Chain A
Amino acid sequence: MEPRPKSFYLLAAFFALFLLFLYGPTLTIAILSFQGPEGGLTFPMRGVSLYWFRDLFEQQAVGDIWGAFRRSLALGLMVMVATVVIALMGGLAFRKKFAGSGALFYLIITALVIPSILVSLGVGLIFSQSGLEVHWATSGFGSQLTWTLPFGLLIMFAIFNRFNPAYEEAARDQGATAWQTIRHVVVPMIAPSLFGVALFGFTLSYDEFARTLLTSGSYNTLPLEIYGMTTNVTTPVIFALGTLTTVFSFLVIGVFMAVLWIGAKRQARLGSDAGKGV
């Protein structure tokens, strides 16, 4: 192997600084959330305690944090399932050109680039003008899908651009129906990527703010609740909440990664022996 050029060390230092820039602030609030009861929003630490975390679990004067968390969790799961199913179907549809598929593609791009607050405003207006009540599980759910679906579809397009149709042809040649081909050949092969779509669906929904702002009704989701706190809470309790929800996000990401990793191992162990001359 060639020795590493000098530029490597420069770039490595730049990369390290970038990681510090990415994670530094989050780590800072994680540390500050352990402030003592007299502590403020910045250093120095006035003692170390779990005071602000306890505060989060006890006092509910600021709002309904745990209710908001439950709603965000439920909404995230709903959006996740819908995103996986709809994006998979959409991805399959786009494998062949059909009349209007070009226009539909541009509509997906529009969903991706439209300012989120416009979706919020538009959906809010439709509901209010037609006398319907906005609710996180209806109007909020739909509004969030306009954000998660484009991501899911872009991933599906990327997968199917690389998918070798020979597998499906082989399945068909052996007499599999279209449904059987999808169920037993296509889906298992792209399962890791579907997990990726699920991760996008859940986390984008769980953290979404602007699209739920005018569409969630009288019950806040967690990001809305946190946003409300930024305007009237000036204690480290907000850091404690931020730390907890970030830890939760990391857990979710970790679970997805672990599933993918185990899946890949399993596939390597039980995988096909095709081409190995057995």
Chain B
Amino acid sequence: MERLLKSRHLSGWLLASPLVVVLFFFLILPIVMITVVSFWTATEFSIVPAFSLENYEFLFGSDVTYRVFLNTAKYAAITWVFTLGIGFTIAYFLAFHIRSTGWQTALFLLCTIPFWTSNIIRMISWIPFLGRNGIANSTLMAWGVIDQPLDWLLFSDFSVILAFVHLYTLFMVVPIFNTMMRIDRSLLEAANDAGATGWQTLWNVIIPLCKPGIMIGTIFVVTMVMGDFITVRFMSGSQSANVGRLISNDIALLQYPSAAATSVVLLATVLITIAIFLRFVDIRKEL
């Protein structure tokens, strides 16, 4: 028994060893490195090993930091609301209204295919739609809704959030659909037999049972929006900032210690947020 137990641990680690190697060199070490460098100092041309708190003092002493973190949280919150609303509705339609499995699979795939294409291209593809002379403006003008082109369609918070919703709604649809498909249909019949209306069934039966899927989708969407820098940069035309852009701007200026300090704070924020979410869902049980 003793030997068996030992071999179980050993074979587990042996099988997991390539994974452990990759995660050690490309996840743990980089996090350690960033943390170390966040205490270094930088001159204009190079970075200097030291132990200094100046990066953090600067970071926490500047209003820009607070405003940018707040803006990041705002993007995450608004994107979350829209992706959840749209994602839930789409998953609900697929899971409960499509009756044949063949159609269900086909429509589900249709929703997921864009996930396997390039995010950058999908961002670029909004330009002809939202630009000053774009499709949205010319259509609205042709309909007489507006007299002159709207300026806030592209390169604004509106376009940033639109792009986030466009890119990430998938991450809500998939896990919510997955939990919905596992709901025992006889529960719905029971609710119906007990006299519940459609809305009551939705609110009191389906939504509570979908919570794990909603949480997993939330984890994906929130972390991707919080860690993003490219969508905000591209879709806001460099006019809005989030934490990721703060980091990438520092990197562009070769201010690595300062970028590292911001990264440490961002990572801590993301991990704490996820730790809170994970209290509501056991991911391993939901797979």
Partners in one complex: yes
Known contacts A15-B90, A42-B133; A246/B117 CB under 8 A:
yes
A223 closest partner in B (C-beta): B120
Q: When the two chains form their complex, are residues A19 and B110 in contact, meaning their CB atoms are under 8 A apart?
A: yes
When A14-B93, A226-B118 are in contact, do A113 and B287 touch as well, CB less than 8 Å?
A: no
B40 to chain A, nearest CB (A): 10
Q: Do A122 and B29 touch (CB < 8 A)? A: yes
Q: Is A116 an interface residue (CB 8 A)?
A: yes
A99 touches B25 (CB 8 A): no
Of the 9-residue stretches B30-38, B62-70, B207-215, which lies at the interface with chain A? B30-38
Which one of B53-61, B73-81, B183-191, B260-268 contacts A? B260-268
Provide the residues of chain A in CB contact with B128, threshold 8 Å. Answer: 25, 28-29, 32, 41-43, 239
Residues of B within 8 Å of A107, CB to CB, are 23, 27-28
A135 CA to B228 CA, complexed, in Å? 23
Measured between alpha carbons, how far is A114 from B29 in the docked complex, in Å? 13
Taking a contact as CB atoms under 8 Å apart, the answer to whether A117 and B229 are in contact is yes
Contacting residues, chain B, for A24 (C-beta < 8 A): 129
How many residues in B have their beta carbons less than 8 Å from beta carbons of A?
83
Let me know if A158 is at the binding interface, CB within 8 A.
Answer: yes
Residues from chain A with a CB closer than 8 A to the CB of B248 are 117
Are B27 and A199 neighbours in the complex by a CB distance under 8 Å? no
Complex contact B266–A115 (CB within 8 A): yes
B9 neighbours in A (Cβ, 8 Å)? 98-99
Q: Are A149 and B263 in contact (CB under 8 A)?
A: no
Q: Does A176 interact with chain B (Cβ within 8 Å)?
A: no
User: Which A residues from 82 to 136 make CB contacts under 8 A with B?
Assistant: 85-87, 89-90, 92-94, 96-101, 104-105, 107-119, 121-123, 125-126, 129
Q: Is A253 an interface residue (CB 8 A)?
A: yes
Query: In the assembly, what is the distance between CA of A214 and CA of B287, in Å?
Result: 33
Q: Which residues of B contact A203 (CB under 8 A)?
A: 116-117
Assess the A227–B284 pair: CB atoms within 8 A.
no
User: Is A267 an interface residue when CB atoms closer than 8 A count as contact?
Assistant: no
Given known A-B contacts A19-B110, A142-B25, A227-B230, A115 and B30 have beta carbons under 8 A apart: no
- CB closest chain-A residue, reference B243: A115
Size bin of chain A's contact surface: 35 or more
Report B-chain residues with C-beta under 8 Å of the C-beta of A93: 11-16, 19
Provide the bound-state CA to CA distance between A227 and B11, in Å. 44
- Chain A to chain B contacts (Cβ below 8 Å), 9 pairs: A15-B107, A32-B128, A43-B135, A115-B266, A119-B30, A199-B116, A209-B119, A230-B124, A238-B124
Given contacts A18-B90, A245-B118, contact A98 B97 (CB under 8 A): no
Query: Which residues of B approach A to under 8 Å, CB–CB?
Result: 8-9, 11-16, 18-20, 22-23, 25-31, 33-34, 37, 86, 89-90, 92-94, 97, 99, 107, 109-111, 113-114, 116-122, 124-129, 131, 133-135, 138, 166, 169, 198, 219, 223, 226-230, 234, 244, 247-248, 251, 256, 259-260, 263, 266-267, 270-271, 274, 278, 283-284, 287
| Proximity bits, A186-217, B CB within 8 Å = 1, else 0 | 00000000000001000100110110001000
A242 at the interface (CB under 8 A from B): yes
Docked pose: A26 CA to B123 CA in angstroms: 9
A11-B92, A42-B127, A113-B270 known; A122-B284 Cβ under 8 A:
no
Are A207 and B118 touching (Cβ within 8 A)?
yes
Which residue of A has the minimal Cβ distance to B22? A145
The answer to whether A14 and B118 touch (CB under 8 A), given A117-B247, A118-B266, is no
* Whole-angstrom CA separation of A32 from B128 in the bound complex: 8
User: Which of chain A's residues have a CB closer than 8 A to the CB of B116?
Assistant: 199, 203, 207, 249, 252-253
| Distance of B139 from chain A, by nearest CB (Å) | 10
- A118 near B263 with CB under 8 A, answer yes
Distance in angstroms between the alpha carbons of A269 and B25 in the assembled complex: 46
Q: Please give, as numbers and ranges, the residues of chain A lying within 8 Å of B270 by CB-CB distance.
A: 113-115
Select A41's contact among B11, B131, B228, B256, beta carbons within 8 Å: B131
Is B227 in contact with A143, judged by CB distance below 8 angstroms?
no
Q: Are B8 and A98 in contact (CB-based, < 8 A)?
A: yes
Task: Name the B residues within 8 Å of A252 (CB-CB).
Answer: 116
Chain A residues lying within 8 Å of B125, measured Cβ to Cβ, are 25-26, 28-29, 242
Decide: B33 and A126 in contact? CB cutoff 8 A: yes
| A17 → chain B closest CB, angstroms | 10
Whether the Cβ atoms of A142 and B22 lie closer than 8 Å is yes
For chain A residues 150-196, which have a beta carbon within 8 Å of chain B?
Answer: 153-154, 157-158, 161
